[in-house]
Structure 1
């Protein structure tokens, strides 16, 4: 909890004694192991997760039985097992830890009550929603790039935190390119950066 409070206090969000007590009462810390599926596509346990450290991949099953990488969830970001906080409908997504990941977990219903009662909780959820929207916008821009190399460059230039947290294998799946192509692009990208210096 201490990490959670410290992080949001940097944003100027104040936690009074009552809110601090309520959060301690209704949240729990959970450490997901590497490759552990925290939420499955059919579970929808109606929980909200805040990532304190680590990283998760969000994937969706395709009609052919494969997995499509939707997004990654990095530290100080969040996700829920339902379509959104205020619905019981499952999102049909899986969230898997890519490394040991510390999560602050709260039931959706408890978080809804806290949001209605405390402005600080409402402010935090607003910031997290804006982050999610910004991330989606970056993903749309990435997909609009004209070719695989342009997508690779866009990812490196605009999502450095993601590149630092996620293994190359997952980045390859996210970009839709092979292992060999990824390393060809990486070498070309680094050579172009060196030439510009």
Structure 2
């Protein structure tokens, strides 16, 4: 059994040891290299991931060829190309490992089997979906009226690890600005 995954689950719900065993049995450990693509545009996302070490990035590419980052996931968090994973339609997103990472991966069919048969696991999934929705709403509404400097301050307050772990180019795409604009704003702080 994986202690990090167990700790993640136990910190969110009360769960029986036998249920943790069932959950762990369906997660497969994998290692990725830097910039390894886990789901590409046009692919149907078949897996959900728990990050033991490393960082994953979810982004799409706009009509002009620019990256638009939707989310970064660091250690002890969950991620997937959610829309494709849930709807089983071709993804508009790319899910990539930004650095060598150790992950636990679960197939979609096994994932939903756990959601349907283990109420504690369903609760963890619902918490994840609620967090993803709230995080997206906060970013959208906060960023709509913000100046660039305020966006940078928001990230410094709410997601400070991003600035030390993630490339400036990727952070800039998350903030909806160019890398040079981000550099200028960092110099002002």
1:158 aligns with 2:158: yes
Partner of 1:3: 4
| CA deviations over 1:38-75 (Å, ceiling 9, x no partner) | 11112214211122222111111222333322222233
The TM-score, its normalising length taken from structure 1, stands at: 0.83
- Aligned partners of 1:85 and 1:112 also within 8 Å: no
- Aligned partners of 2:12 and 2:124 also within 8 Å: no
Q: Distance in 2 between matches of 1:141 and 1:164?
A: 25
**Structure 1: which 5+ runs fail to align?**
190-197
Q: After TM superposition, where is structure 1 displaced by more than 6 Å over at least 4 residues in a row?
A: none
1:24–1:152: structure 2 CA closer, same or farther, 3 Å change rule?
closer
Partner of 2:25: 25
Aligned alpha-carbon RMSD (Å)? 2.2
Q: Distance in 2 between matches of 1:76 and 1:66?
A: 29
| CA deviations over 1:130-160 (Å, ceiling 9, x no partner) | 2212221232134223322222222222222
| CA deviations over 1:109-146 (Å, ceiling 9, x no partner) | 11111111111111110121122122212321342233
The TM-score, its normalising length taken from structure 2, stands at: 0.86
Greater C-alpha Rg: 1
1:170 aligns with 2:175: no
**How many equivalent pairs are there?**
188
